[in-house]
């Protein structure tokens, strides 16, 4: 059964009387080479357990099951469950759960697998909820090896941007705290059914085994990043003045200069390490 073949997809959906749901971001992959490339590059160790978000009709799940020890797939749409039973029936290393990833306790679900080995994430993410899913996975602080996701290309460029470039934003600086991010390849919109309006790209985040940053107050570091990008067109000192109303403009300017930056620098120039230093300097005057 070729789950990338348009006719096969239509036949399966018809046989199970299932319609594609836009509200769940259901754009299914129809290019086998793309599916294989994602599965080949998502993780370095065949002995790994893979958490997949949104298996759809199982096209990527199938390739993951061929390559890895176990796949746990979370699918929100209950009407897809009988289809997944059918398309993945031959595997005894696949567990499909009818669950919303945003409401899933990942810690409890994956604890046994972390105890006995390596776990990675692989997903063609639903675009309506890309960032919340990504942040939920990273903020869980579970020791995933890699998190490989297909997202809109524009989002991929933002996730992988370098400090100082126009794509660089709060999410880039935050991601840098959790791991190293690479854009693996682009995927044209016509490789999906239905075709989304924009192209996509696959991004792999390799999580830091030991975090290279040691902020005095992690929450303060995230607050600093958020404040710096809240008003993008403002200078860092103006943006931080809004984000830290408990400090005077002079105090903020002093902190920025003490960290070795010009007073009129903009937030998008600062790397994750520099945000960490900045938040440590803010910590000193706030405590
Ligand atoms: N993996 C399939 C593929 O590559 O063709 C389908 C990917 S499709 C872009 C996204 C999938 O995520 C859909 O099957 C959708 O129903 C599912 N989904 C959407 N929101 C979800 C959520 N909150 N939790 C789990 N699955 C979700």
Whether residues 170 and 232 share a domain: the answer is no
Closest atom of ligand 1 to 192 CA is: 5
- How many CB atoms neighbour CB 140 within 10 A? 14
CA–centroid distance, 32 to ligand 1, in Å, is 18
128 within domain boundaries: yes
Distance (Å) from CA 53 to ligand 1 centroid: 6
| Together in a domain, 182 and 225 | no
Residues 127 and 258 in one domain: no
CA 275 / ligand 1 centre spacing (Å)? 34
Nearest CA, atom 3, ligand 1: 28
pLDDT at 44 over 90: no
Atom 14 of ligand 1, nearest CA residue:
56
Q: Are residues 167 and 136 in the same domain?
A: yes
Q: Is residue 213 part of a domain?
A: no
Residues 118 and 231 reside in one and the same domain: no
What is the pLDDT confidence band of residue 154, given thresholds at 50, 70 and 90?
Answer: very high
Q: Does residue 242 lie in a domain region?
A: yes
Q: In whole angstroms, give the CA distance from residue 121 to residue 137.
A: 9
Position 235 in a domain = yes
Any domain includes 59: yes
- Tell me the average pLDDT of the chain: 96
Q: What angle do CA 216, 229, 144 make, to 5 degrees?
A: 60
For residue 127, the domain's CATH number is: 3.40.50.150
Q: Does one domain contain both 200 and 264?
A: no
Q: Which atom of ligand 1 is nearest to 100's Cα? A: 24
Q: How far is the CA of 207 from the centre of ligand 1 (A)?
A: 23
Residue 175 lies in a domain: yes
Q: Check whether residue 146 and residue 39 sit in a common domain.
A: yes
Number of C-alpha atoms within 13 angstroms, CB side, residue 268? 14
Is residue 133 in a domain? yes
Whether residues 158 and 274 fall in one domain: no
Q: What is the pLDDT of residue 231?
A: 80
Backbone angles phi, psi at 151, to 5 degrees: -140, 175
Among the three residues 207, 226, 248, which one is the final residue of a domain in this structure? 207
The number of folded domains in the chain is 2
Q: Is residue 1 part of a domain?
A: no
- pLDDT digits over 75-95, tens only? 999 999 999 999 999 999 999
Q: Which atom of ligand 1 is nearest to the CA of 24?
A: 19
**Average of per-residue pLDDT across 13-33:** 97
Q: Are residues 168 and 49 in the same domain?
A: yes
82-115 burial code (b ≥16 CB/10 A, e <16): ebbeebbeebeebebeebebeebebeebbeebee
With bands split at pLDDT 50, 70 and 90, how would you rate the model's confidence at 135?
very high
Chosen domain end from 163, 184, 207: 207
> Do residue 150 and residue 59 come from a single domain?
yes
Encode pLDDT of 185-234 as tens digits: 999 999 999 999 999 999 999 999 999 999 999 999 999 999 999 987 88
User: How distant, in Å, are the alpha carbons of 133, 271, 281 from that of 130?
Assistant: 5, 23, 33
Which among 54, 121, 134 is the best mutation to test ligand 1's pocket, defined by most ligand atoms within 8 Å of the CB?
A: 54
- Examine the domain organization and report whether 131 and 175 are in the same domain: yes
For 250-286, the pLDDT digits (tens) are: 999 999 999 999 989 999 999 999 999 999 999 999 9
Share of the chain above pLDDT 90, in %: 97
pLDDT band (50, 70, 90) for residue 116 = confident
Question: Residue 130 is part of which domain span?
Answer: 6-207
10 and 138: one domain? yes
Binding-site residues, ligand 1, Cβ < 6 A: 24-29, 53-56, 59-60, 74-77, 100-102, 124, 126, 129
């Amino acid at each position: 059964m070729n789950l990338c073949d348009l006719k096969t997809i239509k036949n399966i959906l018809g046989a199970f009387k299932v319609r594609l749901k836009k509200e769940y971001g259901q754009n299914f992959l129809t290019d086998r080479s793309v599916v294989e490339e994602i599965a080949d590059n998502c993780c370095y160790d065949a002995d790994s357990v893979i958490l997949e978000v949104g298996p759809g009709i199982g096209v990527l799940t199938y390739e993951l099951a061929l390559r890895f020890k176990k796949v746990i797939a979370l699918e929100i749409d209950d009407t897809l469950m009988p289809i997944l039973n059918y398309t993945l029936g031959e595997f005894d290393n696949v567990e499909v759960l009818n669950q919303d990833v945003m409401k899933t306790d990942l810690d409890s679900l994956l604890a046994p697998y972390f105890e006995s080995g390596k776990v990675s994430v692989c997903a063609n993410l639903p675009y309506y909820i890309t960032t919340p899913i990504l942040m939920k996975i990273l903020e869980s602080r579970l020791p995933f090896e890699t998190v490989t996701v297909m997202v809109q290309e524009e989002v991929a460029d933002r996730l992988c941007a370098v400090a100082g470039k126009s794509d660089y934003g709060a999410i880039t600086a935050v991601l840098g705290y959790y791991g190293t991010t690479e854009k693996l390849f682009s995927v044209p919109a016509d490789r999906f059914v239905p075709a989304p309006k924009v192209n996509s790209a696959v991004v792999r985040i390799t999580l830091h085994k030991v975090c290279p940053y040691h902020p005095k107050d992690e929450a303060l570091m995230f607050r600093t990043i958020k404040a710096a990008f809240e008003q993008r067109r403002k200078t860092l000192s103006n943006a931080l003045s809004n984000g830290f109303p408990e400090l005077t403009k002079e105090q903020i300017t002093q902190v920025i200069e003490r960290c070795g930056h010009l007073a009129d620098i903009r937030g998008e120039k600062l790397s994750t390490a520099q945000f960490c230093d900045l938040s440590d300097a803010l910590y000193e005057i706030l405590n």
